Structure 1
Amino acid sequence: MSDRQARGVERQIQEAEARGEFKNLPGAGKPLPGIGQPLHEDWWLRQQSTRENIGLDALPPALRLAKEIEQLPETLDALGDEAAVREALDALNVRIRKALIGPIDGPPLRFGLRDVDDEVRSWRERRG
């Protein structure tokens, strides 16, 4: 960008500010969401899916699995009994195993099968 262009942009910003176009913007005076948290490799996709309210079904399978793993404690906590928790974990492991064996759309998986007994133990602890 040339100096002339930069001055023009700066002038437009100052004029918009004088007109009050930057007042009462959503999030004004609040910290940026996610500040201080490490960026995930797919940060841009997460941001886009949140902004556009895209559900899990729209994500490539690898990212869908990663999102399921990320939300696993909340998902399991919503289940009423241990049998349902074990069933959900078994179904998740089937999808993970399939992704590990064959080609899958999206980035490489950075996780493996879930240990059902460990996850059930964590579920019990969270329940108190």
Structure 2
Amino acid sequence: MSNLFTIFEKIAEQRIQEAMERGEFDNLPGAGKPLTLEDDSHLPADLRIAYKILKNADCLPPELELRKEIRTTEELLSGIQDTQEKYHQMKKLNYLIMKLNTMRRVSPLLEEHQVYYPKVLDRLARNKDNKGP
């Protein structure tokens, strides 16, 4: 078995050498720049390979995709004037935040905080009162 490995090793080395002579490794993206090694120690061991595969496929992990959707909904919510639509978007936002909080393995103190409808109604009422008739 060791002999077979040596043969493959020699063939691979020969092909690499030929490719170098043809210039196939010249001008590669990132040439001359340091490698960016990623620290994935914060991820649970059972998720590391899955996240790496998702990243290589240019996909976001579910938690990051959800965070992105939360930020988009927050931006949308800040520009809505209609009370009914604002309430609808707040319900959606609270659902997304709850979903994120349940999928994360962190202390409840570090959870995302939900947005509450009474606060919005109170602020809308104050804004309406300040504008006058």
Instruction: Report 1 or 2 for greater relative contact order, CA contacts < 8 Å, sequence distance ≥ 6.
Output: 1
Structure number with greater Rg is 2
More helix by share: 2
